[in-house]
Amino acid sequence: MAIVELTQEAFAATEAATEEAGKVRVGVHDASRLEWSLSLPLPDTENGKPAPYSLRVEIQIPQNAFVRHLPWDQMQAFTRLDGPAVAPASDTVTIDALRRGALAMANQLARASDGFKRHCRLAASLFATAPHSELEDALTIWIEAALRIAQESRERLTRAENEEPSELTCERKLVDEYVSVRLLEMLAGAERALSNVIESKSRHAVRLAPVVAEVEARLAQALSEELAYREAQGFTNADPASPYALERYLERSSRLKKHFQEVLFLEQETFQVAERAYHWIAAFVAVLASTWAFAWQIALMNQANAATTVSSGVVVLAIAAGLVYAGKDRIKEIGRNWMTHRVQRVWGAQRISRYRAPHRRLPTRDIVVTARESFNQSVSSLPDALNPECGAFTPIMVLTYEHRGEVVPNAQLVRSGVRRVKHVFRYDLSPIFARLDDATKPVPVLDDASRRVRFIDAPRCYRMPVTVALESGGRSYTERATLVLHKRGLERLERDKDSNPSLAEIGLEPN
């Protein structure tokens, strides 16, 4: 009973920390895409007022490496609901209800994993004062809590009822496998956190070795039992001796994750402001250009009668007529561009997006989020990094993404347990890879043994500053980091050393 009470208190503390700090995350998604995600709470339904927010992302790219491209073609964005509640047993009679229950289990396991990692970080810190016996109990509690969550979810979601449809039976089997995958991920994350404790430079690392050994033994036992369960159920296992089996396991895990999270995705409706108004703008500008050309055509016709006997006058009239028609085309082009920019200024965005709840979740397909987005490219310059006082500058291209939106309150979603709306944005930087230098360059060094010069391959990396600024709920957050990349792709994201230590791990720094 004590373990259960301590686990509930720890869950509450972890959830409170997540609610406070889990606003925005930024990092490297894969070898070519930079990702930033934004988590926003659903507003209070009592006052019925939408909750406004704004996001600004700025990426600085050296001008010699920049390639002109359409930013919207490189952007991938999707929005989903976050924080599903545990579905009651009476509600688990549909496929979507089963999937929401599985996601609730995954959410609880994620919080258990965060709690375990937080205890490990505290134990490895220089100011740790808790006795080692309490640390072992705290870490063991998180492991037992994760195992209990998985067991209760299986009992509630995977037990088939009498004479239920075959598709429900199949979905329960997928839920069982998804529970297993998420449990394995939690145990793997716990093992990595323990390894970081031993590898830390803390003075407590040596004294914590016996505690870490005991906890690792419990993790190994839990992992062995889960692998045996997967073998008995016929699930795909990760065989370290078979690359093909490892590939199949990762592919299966990815498909399961997408299968269950799909139920939370909102339906996106977007349109480009310029495209929506293009035909009206083109028609209006064409009328102006044609009127201008027609007026000049009448004026030239009056001069044509007097110039019929003078060959030079005919030539002049012909040239003038050609200039009139050339000017007509230029007026149309310049007018379209000018009107397009004016329309975007009036609307305050280049793209309008609306995110609706799916029909199977809310038959009315209510709008949950509305947003106005803009993506701009501009030329700027930075002082020379080697000697800023010399007056030299480095030209750069600045990509600026602006997103201003509102979260609409929805009583039905709140009653179903949804607490937040999560935006995820991924930007593909692969167009600039072709402009970068080789990923490695030979560097001469002196061999101490032979006293001869030899060459080693040194990594050739580029650094691009990234700034993310968020305003939400009357508070503002700013994160500044440096994206490290080379010709083969994105390498890592280096965050500023001046970031708030308590929020550094989530990439959040309050102003």
Residue 328 pLDDT: 62
Please report whether residue 3 resides in a domain.
no
Residue 85 pLDDT: 47
Domain count, the chain: 3
Q: Residue 18 burial (CB < 10 Å; 0-12/13-18/19+)?
A: middle
Q: Are residues 48 and 70 in the same domain?
A: yes
Q: Which of 39, 37, 43, 36 is nearest to 23 (CA)?
A: 39
Please report whether residue 413 resides in a domain.
no
Q: Are residues 256 and 401 in the same domain?
A: no
Please report whether residue 338 resides in a domain.
yes
Which of 245, 266, 287 finishes a domain? 266
Residue 146 pLDDT: 92
Residue 510 pLDDT: 34
Residue 299 pLDDT: 66
Two structure tokens written together for 499: 């970031």
Q: Are 267 and 355 in contact (CB under 8 A)?
A: yes
Q: Are residues 115 and 258 in the same domain?
A: yes
- Domain extent, residue 286, equals 272-347
Amino acid at 252: R
Which of 227, 246, 266 finishes a domain? 266
Q: Are residues 250 and 148 in the same domain?
A: yes
Report d(CA 331, CA 337) in Å as an integer. Answer: 10
Two structure tokens written together for 37: 């995600």
Please report whether residue 161 resides in a domain.
yes
> Residue 373's beta-bridge partner residues?
351, 403
Q: Are residues 104 and 192 in the same domain?
A: yes
Q: Are residues 445 and 468 in the same domain?
A: yes
Q: DSSP labels for 468-508?
A: EEEEETTEEEEEEEEEEEETTEEEEEEEPTTS-TTTGGGT-
Residue 277 pLDDT: 59
Please report whether residue 204 resides in a domain.
yes
Q: What is the pTM of this model?
A: 0.74
Please report whether residue 359 resides in a domain.
no
Residue 35 pLDDT: 93
Look at the block and give the residue holding tokens 């990702």.
35
Q: Are residues 330 and 387 in the same domain?
A: no
Q: Are residues 252 and 336 in the same domain?
A: no
Q: Are residues 231 and 277 in the same domain?
A: no
Please report whether residue 342 resides in a domain.
yes
Residue 21 pLDDT: 42
Q: Are residues 436 and 459 in the same domain?
A: yes
Please report whether residue 62 resides in a domain.
yes
Which of 243, 266, 289 finishes a domain? 266
Q: Which of 263, 265, 81 is nearest to 178 (CA)?
A: 263
Q: Are residues 77 and 166 in the same domain?
A: no
Q: Are residues 450 and 508 in the same domain?
A: yes
Query: What are the average pLDDT values for consecutive 10-residue runs of the chain, which has 511 residues?
Result: 45 49 77 90 81 92 87 89 56 75 87 86 63 74 92 88 83 92 92 80 67 88 92 88 89 91 86 64 62 64 55 59 62 60 61 87 88 88 80 87 90 82 92 87 84 86 91 86 91 70 35 34
Q: How many residues are there in the chain? A: 511
